[in-house]
Amino acid sequence: MPLRSTLAISLFYALLGFAPRVSAEPAAAEALFREGRRLLDQGQYQDAAIKLAESQAQDPASGTLINLALAYEKQGKLATAWVTYQDAAAFARRDGRADRVASAERKARELEPRIPRVVFRSQTPADGLIIQLGTVKIGPGALGSSIPIDPGEYHVIANAPGRQSWEAALTIAEGERPELIVPNLAALPPPEDAKRAEPKTPSEESGGARSRPTAPPTVPPPSSVLPWVLGASGAVILGVGSVFGVRAFSRYSDAEQACPSHQACSPGAMEALQEARTSAWVADIAIAAGVAACATSAWLFLTRSDAKPNAVLGVTPLKGGAALSLRAQL
């Protein structure tokens, strides 16, 4: 009788059950709005912008956008404030608030002549040219156009496929209209492999005598290596996901202790809550990818041509998650 054994692999994801989820609530938005207005009145414009932006994310409103634009304007972020005023006017027009439409449009008109703008030019732009100015990225279609930006110092980078990058520093003040010429990007040098000489013929190598053919090197088939690579990668990704999951739970607990009501919270509590949401999202993605990699590795291992098992892959729903199982009879 041949030896028979059963191999079962089950992978569980418990973190899916406790990952925190924060839903939008008008009450929280109102508390954040009032806190933002108070900070705005006190001249704490950066902190006010953070509160007002979070209030807008919780419960969008044209009044919140107008105050957020004012916070940006007070910080000197003129282009950002200008765009936010325009968004507020569009939002108010949709809600039928003519008073807010007029206020937002008036503020946008007043800001427009103060906004610095930069014009990029290039005589022969390379295919796929991308110019990055801080967080702003523009393509060839924006060349020659006046691009509004906030006053400040910028690191400019121009890139294109197969071309060397070009960098420059730009300092722009309120109301300035500079032009920046992007030179023709030089082609990248060919890779070292392309510089190798043409292979010699057998007659050239032996002075005319025929050389014996050499056997090709033995290379393990991809099917025997891939399962191990996938398994190791899946284990690493699962570990990373677990770390972020634990961090999400920890930061959410910190936020709960500091501000159980989630209303009018301190900056520290809001930061902990935001970090909890981000960590939970990363944990979701990493654990799902790790589970998929490990399951695929097990499947490939059990269905190798030299093993030839009868394998069955199954999914079992569980409370707060799911289990993947892979059984094979050898």
- The answer to whether position 236 is within a domain reads yes
In a domain, 190, yes or no: no
Percent of the chain with pLDDT over 70: 70
CATH code (residue 75): 1.25.40.10
* Domain's final residue, options 93, 113, 133: 113
Same domain, 229 and 318: yes
For residues 249 and 284, membership in a common domain is answered with yes
Mean pLDDT of the chain: 77
Domain final residue, candidates 72, 94, 113: 113
Residue located via tokens 């991308």: 130
Task: Considering only residues 251 and 202, tell me which one the structure prediction assigns the higher pLDDT.
Answer: 251
Is residue 15 in some structural domain? yes
Q: Is residue 44 part of a domain?
A: yes
Q: Above 60 in pLDDT, residue 328?
A: no
> 93 near 59, Cβ under 8 Å?
no
Q: How confident is the model at residue 25 (pLDDT cuts 50, 70, 90)?
A: confident
Are 316 and 239 part of one and the same domain? yes
Q: Quickly state the pLDDT bin for 18 (edges 50, 70, 90).
A: very low
Do both 158 and 68 map to the same domain?
A: no
Q: How do residues 61-70 score in pLDDT, each as one tens digit?
A: 999 999 999 9
> pLDDT tens digit string along 186-216?
999 887 755 565 555 555 555 544 555 555 5
From edge to edge, which strands make up the β-sheet containing 117-121?
146-148, 117-121, 179-181
Q: What Å distances lie between residue 146 and 48, 100, 122, 149, 151, CA to CA?
A: 30, 28, 14, 10, 14
Answer yes or no: do 45 and 134 share one domain: no
Query: Which single residue is written with the structure tokens 């449009």?
Result: 105
The pLDDT of residue 60 is: 92
Segment 220-245, tens digit of pLDDT: 555 567 776 767 887 778 787 778 77
**Reading across the β-sheet that carries 310-318, which strands appear in turn?**
6-12, 321-329, 310-318
Residues 268 and 243 in one domain: yes
pLDDT tens digits, one per residue of 31-46: 999 999 999 999 999 9
Identify the CATH number of the domain in which residue 165 sits: 2.60.40.1120
Are 100 and 127 in the same domain?
no
Tally the domains of the chain.
3
Query: Is the pLDDT reported for residue 165 higher than 80?
Result: yes
Q: How far apart are CA 321 and CA 323, in angstroms?
A: 7
H, E, C per residue of the chain:
CCCCCEEEEEEECCHHHHCCCCCCCHHHHHHHHHHHHHHHHCCCHHHHHHHHHHHHHHCCCHHHHHHHHHHHHHCCCHHHHHHHHHHHHHHHHHHCCHHHHHHHHHHHHHHHHHCCEEEEECCCCCCCCEEEECCEEECHHHCCCEEECCCEEEEEEEECCCECCEEEEEEECCCCCCEEECCCCCECCCCHHHHCCCCCCHHHHHCCCCCCCCCCCCCCCHHHHHHHHHHHHHHHHHHHHHHHHHHHHHHHHHHHHHCCCCCCCCHHHHHHHHHHHHHHHHHHHHHHHHHHHHHHHHHHHHCCCCCCCEEEEEEEEECCEEEEEEEEEC
| Within-domain flag for 216 | no
CA atoms within 13 A on the CB side of 262: 16
Asked if 234 and 263 sit in the same domain, the reply is yes
Of 181, 196, 214, the residue that ends a domain is 181
Using one digit for the tens of pLDDT, what is the confidence trace for 67-100? 999 999 999 999 999 999 999 999 999 999 999 9
Least confident of 101-105, 175-179, 246-250, 324-328: 324-328
Specify which residues 12 forms β-bridges with.
Answer: 323
Residue 121's domain comprises 117-181
Q: Is the pLDDT higher at 29 or at 278?
A: 29
Mean pLDDT of 278-291: 79
Q: Cβ neighbours of residue 109 under 8 Å, at least 6 residues apart? A: none
